[in-house]
Amino acid sequence: MDADIILEFQNVTKAFPGIVALDDVSFKIRRGEIHGICGENGAGKSTLMKILSGVYPHGTYEGKVLYNGEELKLEGSAIHQAAQKGIAIVYQELTLVPVMTVGENIFLGREPTVRGSITWDHVYAEARKILNKYKMDVHPQDQVKNLGMGKMQMTEIAKALSEDAKVLILDEPTSALSEAEVDQLMSIIRTLKEHGVTCIYITHKLEEFFKIADTVTVLRDGKVVTTQDTKDLTSEKLVKYMVGREMKERFPQGDRKPGEKIFEVNDLHAEDPDKGKEVIKGVSFDLRKGEILGIAGLMGSGRTELVMTIFGEYAKVTSGSIKLNGKEITIKNGHEAMEYGISLVPEDRKRHGLVLIQSILKNISLPNLDKFSSFMRVNQDEELAQSTKFAKSLSIKAPNLFVPAESLSGGNQQKVVIAKWLMSGPKILIMDDPTRGIDVGAKFEIYKLMNKLAEEGISIIMISSDLQEVLGMSDRVMVMCKGSSNGMLDIKEATQERIMTLATGLA
């Protein structure tokens, strides 16, 4: 047995009714390396990690997992066993208790006791030791709910490490982090490596593999495509391995011909009704028929707040005007927005877009029940027929429309959200970060769909954190900075540098 190998998968197969999630997976992870796992949604990454962390205990899958040369047999309270053996996992959705302090969270469930009682000074001292060791700039006595996403992430990692982890699995750790926070996280991961911790790193952001990973394993449809050193890889190669075909272009070419001005926002100011704080401080822009208008800006620049306010569901407009087809309108809630033909695909599809426990069918039809209802009765046959049409045209991949939305992959969930808003027949479709957390292939499909909609005359407002996406998809780009609009660029004059200059308020 090679002593250098800490983990080895040997012919691991895991099948669920109707789908083989992992198909004869074999690869090795070296001790002390940062090992990237890459693949589209549904490729089997999560299933693999769930086997490692004990969510799927030994015996529920075929094949072997070797840990330090011995077969890993997680049984009984398997999740707890995995942690005891030094395998820790940090999930994409953080598992911290917001009202507790950093120190309390780190030792949650394992509070060090002296003669049966907890000495908090001791807890905080231990927490500080861990935080200092890995150079994490977090104060143990801060309440978690007051921290930014980056520091929450650090707390979560510290919590995982406090059990003396040998292997740390990071599942999409950067999906909610700002760029500065990502850099901080990267340096922490390098510190971990110096301390001999093996990291398994999962992400959709391919450039991160090149920043940090030593080796990358690519999964596709439950099979290992390749395991290679990062230095031998390029992002084109990675994409090719992932989707199994060459992706010449990330953004499909559209044939958009923006028409007359249909929507206009003039010097809009709005304040948060709960806190009484002004969140929108002077935004002006216009939107043309069949145009894709990109909105760029840093986290906290008020992008989401702006579109939610336009949709009538967030801040109270204090001054300024919104005009639709030249006529001034006020939108008091989402229902009114829909009646004006404005729809919103929200940023967080799980929290704001979907009723996860309900079927695809019910999710698609939810805002559109008026279309199938006479007086009180919902015509469920008509509902199914219409929803099927939209599900087909968006090629939502699911056994049927009666499966719950929670059973779908991220990309397909996003398609369900888009389907439900397309059915409402919008003239203006606001899409808040429409491709967040979904894989390259699904992104491409969504881009194609956006092009098609714009060609059909629907105007799209697209918010995005991904500058390349903004540049690749928009006709014009509005840049926001600290709650106000700080410039409108035609796509021909827009560059990453110009957008960043405007977004950071340097110009």
Contacting positions for another protein (CB under 8 A):
311, 313, 333-335, 337-338, 344, 346, 351-358, 362, 366-367, 369-370, 373, 376-378, 380-382, 384-385, 420
The answer for residues whose C-beta is within 8 angstroms of residue 35's C-beta and 6 or more apart is: 29, 198, 199, 200, 201, 213, 214, 215, 216, 217
Strands 34-38 and 198-202: parallel
Nearer to another protein, 230 or 386 (CB): 386
CB of 316 to another protein, least distance (A): 16
Strands 459-463 and 428-432: parallel
Helices 410-423, 440-455: axis angle to 10 degrees equals 10
CB of 68 to another protein, least distance (A): 31
Nearer to another protein, 86 or 367 (CB): 367
Nearer to another protein, 288 or 349 (CB): 349
Nearer to another protein, 68 or 388 (CB): 388
Nearer to another protein, 134 or 311 (CB): 311
CB of 448 to another protein, least distance (A): 25
CB of 317 to another protein, least distance (A): 18
How would DSSP label each residue in 36-91? EEE--TTSSHHHHHHHHTTSS-TTSSEEEEEETTEE----SSHHHHHHHTTEEEE-
Q: Which residue has the tokens 């967030």?
A: 314
Q: Which residue has the tokens 């002390």?
A: 32
CB of 372 to another protein, least distance (A): 9
CB of 422 to another protein, least distance (A): 13
CB of 357 to another protein, least distance (A): 5
Cα–Cα distance for residue pair 422/364, rounded to 1 Å: 9
Nearer to another protein, 180 or 355 (CB): 355
The answer to whether the CB of 67 falls within 8 A of the CB of 85 is yes
Nearer to another protein, 387 or 409 (CB): 387
Q: Which two tokens stand for residue 45?
A: 């990454």
Q: 203 — phi, psi (to 5°)?
A: -160, 160
Q: How many CB atoms lie within 10 A of CB 256?
A: 19
Nearer to another protein, 168 or 344 (CB): 344
What's at 225, amino acid-wise? V
Residue 478 CA from chain centroid, whole number? 23
CB of 425 to another protein, least distance (A): 13
